[in-house]
Amino acid sequence: MKIAVIPSGDINKYKNADALILGLKGFCINTYAYSFEEIVDILNISTQEIFIAINKNIHNNEIPLLEEYLQKFSKMKIAGIFYADVALIEINKEHNLNLNLIWSQEHLTCNYHTINYWLNEGAKGVFISNDITKREILEIASNVNGTKFVQVFGYIPIYVSRRHAVDNYLKAFAIKDKDKYFNYISKEEKDYPIVDDENGTYVYSNNILCSLNEIEEYNNIDYGIISFFNINHDEEKIIDIFKTVTNKNKEEYMDFIKDKYSNIDTIFLYTETIYKVK
């Protein structure tokens, strides 16, 4: 399994990763946003695989600029584009761009039939949902032929809104000396990171997903994704751990991670959600 990293800024901290996933400013969520020019500069110097995240819901007035960017990316040496909006599939077809599109609609990539539907419609891979169980992930991995990504470490996204929830709250109650960008919402002593940026509001899990114990079962999965959102230390070591973990060193590695992060968790890997309340 290769390791792909969602950076939290300076990409020099992740030189040992196999791939980077760079958000395109104005069109990405849950990733650090780089301007088109910054991405071009990175592409010129990087020896790593570079994926671009264009994974927000696309509003109608954003289509012309999106088409322009996709046409430019189709001429560059990028490994692929993570997309959520079907508009990318349509534009890719209309302009015959032959982009390597990775379906990344974080809570909808939950079964292999639907994933295979998008692979038939032009996608080349999938970022498997992180709100399903390990058993479901493994079933998907066995029944899907495209390139498969699964998050193995980091906070997981749990909410996306066009609304500016924090900014609106600060304005509604005339709170002037607080920054809207990064905060937490807290309930029953659990604190959830919340971000309010130009595209809206995002909320993340209170705990950090850590799939170190599961990684050897992910042998059908092509890329493990580490998200360094809100994780700003020991990045190189974390990447190394996931690249070199074996049965022999797993316990030692896990001790290291537990020592550095008190809030690691398997989140949904062993927790099946329900929908009918009895």
Q: Which amino acid is at 42?
A: I
* Residue 166 contacts other proteins per CB under 8 A: yes
With CB under 8 A as the contact rule, the residue among 145, 186, 244, 263 that binds other proteins is 186
* Residue 101 contacts other proteins per CB under 8 A: no
Total of residues contacting other proteins (CB under 8 A): 70
Helix H or strand E encompassing 249: none
* Residue 254 contacts other proteins per CB under 8 A: no
Q: Which is nearer to other proteins, 77 or 171 (CB)?
A: 171
What is the Cα–Cα distance from 50 to 43, expressed in whole angstroms? 7
Q: How many CA atoms lie within 13 A of 88 on its CB side?
A: 30
With CB under 8 A as the contact rule, the residue among 78, 89, 231, 264 that binds other proteins is 89
Q: How many CA atoms lie within 13 A of 271 on its CB side?
A: 8
What is the Cα–Cα distance from 108 to 128, expressed in whole angstroms? 9
Report the candidate in 58, 120, 66 with the shortest Cα–Cα distance to residue 91: 66
Q: Is 196 exposed, middle or buried (0-12, 13-18, 19+ CB in 10 A)?
A: buried
- Give the distance from CA 155 to its chain's centroid: 10
| Minimum distance from residue 242 beta carbon to other proteins (Å) | 23
* Residue 173 contacts other proteins per CB under 8 A: yes
What 8-state DSSP symbol labels residue 59? P
Q: Which stretch binds other proteins (CB under 8 A): 19-27, 56-64, 74-82, 246-254?
A: 56-64
With CB under 8 A as the contact rule, the residue among 16, 46, 74, 111 that binds other proteins is 111
Other C-beta atoms lying within 10 Å of the C-beta of residue 183: 18
Q: Which is nearer to other proteins, 16 or 111 (CB)?
A: 111
* Residue 196 contacts other proteins per CB under 8 A: no
* Residue 219 contacts other proteins per CB under 8 A: no
Q: Which is nearer to other proteins, 45 or 274 (CB)?
A: 274
Q: Which is nearer to other proteins, 73 or 253 (CB)?
A: 73
Report the candidate in 110, 104, 157, 105 with the shortest Cα–Cα distance to residue 136: 110
Residues that bind other proteins (CB under 8 A): 57-63, 84-87, 89-91, 94, 105-108, 110-114, 117-118, 131-132, 136, 139-140, 158-173, 175, 178-179, 182-187, 191, 194, 201, 203, 205-206, 267-268, 271, 273-277
